[in-house]
């Protein structure tokens, strides 16, 4: 899409300012807000509009990041109640522009942050507009929709496409991968890195005991039927992280293509896992027949007490962001305008909401979270403990060797999403957590500890800001004619849609292995999927 004349400016010396990308946020929840904030912090683009059906959420995001500098409030082109309204608006705007009418500046790129099961519908509807797209993870909740997205996007001229696999873009993980791959000038793809050729990796995501209860027992990701397996909704970017370290080609180098630039694909995938704790058979006897924390006789001693988690741990300490604003998005403004007692009253009213099985339609129960519900009386069924094993065989064509990866997702942990692991190589070993990377060199008997930068305001160790900066940079490079789309995709994003689809497919292969008890052979399974 060619820039409109009012999106750039010329100077008397003939130079032209670079175009500043304009972004639309679809979905003003926690993820949409995180990306909007990251755009503003980066100063690499403009949050030009927001689409969100809930007026309160739309107003909060818009007033902070869209029309925050305007005294007249939002303009029609800055807020939409529905993403479909934006599509209609943009189609009309382009028609007017083509007819020679003066129009408002267009949108260059979109952050899709709606509910997971709507990703396919939104992305495929945006495809004809030719916008650059960043879709929050997971790409979709089933493999059919993921392949539909890939198929639809392939029908139109290529644009920058990004996925919310933020682990790739944190300073910590970028340094970790650099240590594994070497310096990028011959010491590539696990040959000649800090620990030689990689042989094995153990990676753990400790979700956190109360975090899991919030999102995967009481929250919107609690049931496979209405959401997807927890391996997809919580840990798809951990599987992607492993593949990024173990088989993704090294960073893009313009004009260079070698055998190391061919991905080393897995050979087999197996998995075991189940719902171990959060089920009715584990309910403490003293809780009796209570189904809601506010009426439970052991609420004062229960570690999963909703009052303890949302009020005592957060609201009572003045914390109104996640998870409190997920429970009730109006609490931040209530606290600011009416004080702590009013905020507490609003929180407790939300937590008191409950249901009786048999007296309420199943679809109505499944349609929303129940944050005050007893964790042993909920309708959840996703795994709270799962292990995935991925193997690679020798690849004589590329010289890449046999290796193994083991991933463990565990809910019952003190650490909350503070990932940790070990990587074993032919000449050393790396130990990492969320703050440090420790390299043990067998050849020199030297141990080196790295302390990567951990940005304060960005979630996922800086991954949110990192992904946003790379996406904005890629969009700007294309819109200003500095790079072709394919080049910018590789240089900035480090992966393409094919790789995004493949990493999601590995999750579904792992789920097939878990539910069937078989070892999935990657090549044959992927061939059957794509027939």
How deeply is 141 buried, as exposed, middle or buried, from its count of CB atoms within 10 A (0-12, 13-18, 19+)? buried
Q: Is 192 a residue whose pLDDT tops 70?
A: no
Domains defined along the chain, listed by start: 5-159 (3.40.50.720), 167-278+382-454+496-529 (3.30.360.10), 280-366 (no CATH)
377 dihedral zone (left: phi>0; alpha: psi -120 to 50; beta): alpha
- Average of per-residue pLDDT across 3-30: 69
- Average of per-residue pLDDT across 332-356: 97
Q: Is 455 a residue whose pLDDT tops 90?
A: no
Q: Is 127 a residue whose pLDDT tops 50?
A: yes
Q: What is the pLDDT of residue 255?
A: 56
pLDDT band at 189 (very low <50, low <70, confident <90, very high): very low
- Average of per-residue pLDDT across 274-300: 97
Q: Is 398 a residue whose pLDDT tops 80?
A: no
- Average of per-residue pLDDT across 181-192: 47
**pLDDT tens-digit map of 75-117:** 999 999 999 999 999 999 999 999 999 999 999 999 999 999 9
Which H or E run contains 509?
helix 497-516
Query: Using the 8-state DSSP alphabet, how is residue 252 labeled?
Result: P
Q: What is the pLDDT of residue 350?
A: 98
For β-strands 420-425 and 428-432, DSSP reports them as antiparallel
**pLDDT tens-digit map of 473-500:** 999 999 999 999 999 999 999 999 999 9
Question: CB-based contacts of 435: which residues, under 8 Å, 6+ apart?
Answer: 172, 451, 452, 454
Listing DSSP states for 153-203 in one string gives HTTS----EEE--GGGGSHHHHHHHHHHH-SSSS--TTSSSTTSSEEEEEE
Cis peptide before 101 (omega within 30 of 0): no
**pLDDT tens-digit map of 249-272:** 777 666 555 566 788 999 999 999
Q: What is the pLDDT of residue 184?
A: 42
Average pLDDT, the chain: 92
**pLDDT tens-digit map of 200-250:** 999 999 999 999 999 999 999 999 999 999 999 999 999 999 999 998 877
Q: Is 3 a residue whose pLDDT tops 80?
A: no
pLDDT band at 6 (very low <50, low <70, confident <90, very high): very low
Q: What is the pLDDT of residue 458?
A: 66
Listing DSSP states for 80-104 in one string gives ESSHHHHHHHHHHHHHHHHTT----
Beta bridge partners of 431: 422, 438
Q: What is the pLDDT of residue 11?
A: 47
Q: What is the rounded distance in angstroms from the CA atom of residue 215 to the CA atom of residue 106?
A: 36
Q: What is the pLDDT of residue 27?
A: 98
Q: How many helices (H) does the chain have, and how many strands (E)? A: 18, 15
């Amino acid at each position: 899409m060619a820039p409109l004349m009012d999106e750039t400016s010329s100077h008397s010396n003939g130079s032209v300012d670079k175009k500043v990308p304009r972004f639309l946020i679809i979905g003003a929840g926690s993820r949409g807000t995180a990306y909007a904030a990251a755009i503003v912090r980066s100063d690499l683009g403009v949050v030009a509009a927001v689409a969100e059906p809930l007026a309160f959420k739309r107003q909060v995001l818009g007033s902070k990041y869209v029309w925050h500098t305007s005294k007249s409030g939002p303009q029609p082109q800055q807020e939409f109640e529905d993403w479909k309204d934006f599509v209609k608006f943009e189609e009309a705007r382009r028609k007017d522009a083509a007819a020679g009418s003066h129009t408002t500046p267009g949108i260059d790129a979109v952050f899709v942050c709606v509910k997971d099961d709507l990703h396919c519908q939104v992305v495929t509807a945006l495809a004809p507009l030719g916008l650059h797209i960043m879709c929050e993870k997971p790409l979709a909740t089933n493999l059919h929709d993921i392949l539909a997205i890939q198929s639809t996007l392939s029908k139109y001229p290529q644009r920058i496409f990004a996925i919310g696999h933020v682990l790739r873009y944190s300073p910590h993980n970028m340094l970790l991968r650099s240590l594994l791959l070497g310096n990028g000038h011959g010491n590539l793809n696990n040959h000649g890195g800090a620990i030689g050729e990689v042989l094995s990796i153990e990676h753990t995501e400790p979700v956190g005991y109360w975090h899991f209860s919030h999102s995967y027992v009481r929250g919107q990701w609690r049931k496979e039927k209405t959401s997807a397996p927890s391996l997809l909704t919580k840990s798809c970017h951990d599987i992607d992280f492993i593949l990024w370290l173990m088989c993704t080609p090294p960073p893009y180098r313009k004009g260079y293509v070698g055998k190391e630039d061919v991905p080393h694909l897995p050979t087999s995938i197996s998995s075991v896992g189940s719902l171990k704790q959060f089920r009715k058979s584990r309910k403490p006897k003293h809780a009796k027949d209570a189904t809601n924390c506010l009426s439970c006789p052991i609420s004062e001693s229960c570690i999963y007490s909703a009052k303890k988690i949302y009020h005592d741990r957060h609201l009572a300490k003045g914390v109104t962001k996640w998870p409190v604003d997920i429970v009730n998005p109006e609490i931040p403004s209530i606290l600011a305008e009416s004080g702590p007692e009013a905020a507490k009253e609003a929180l407790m009213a939300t937590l008191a909401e409950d249901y009786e099985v048999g007296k309420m339609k199943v679809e109505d129960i499944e349609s929303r979270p129940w944050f005050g519900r007893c964790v042993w009386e909920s309708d959840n069924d996703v795994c709270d403990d799962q292990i995935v094993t991925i193997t690679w065989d020798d690849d004589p064509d590329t010289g890449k060797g046999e290796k193994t990866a083991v991933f463990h997702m565990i809910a019952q942990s003190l650490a909350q999403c503070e990932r940790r692991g070990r990587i074993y190589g032919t000449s050393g070993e790396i130990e990492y957590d969320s703050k440090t990377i420790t390299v043990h060199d067998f050849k020199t008997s030297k141990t080196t500890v790295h302390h990567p930068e951990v940005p304060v305001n960005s979630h996922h160790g800086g991954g949110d800001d990192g992904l946003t900066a790379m996406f904005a940079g890629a969009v700007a490079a294309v819109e200003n004619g500095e790079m072709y789309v394919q080049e910018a995709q590789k240089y900035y994003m480090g992966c393409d849609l094919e790789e995004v689809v493949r990493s999601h497919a590995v999750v579904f292969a792992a789920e097939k292995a878990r539910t069937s008890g078989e070892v999935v052979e990657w090549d044959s399974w992927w061939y059957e999927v794509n027939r």
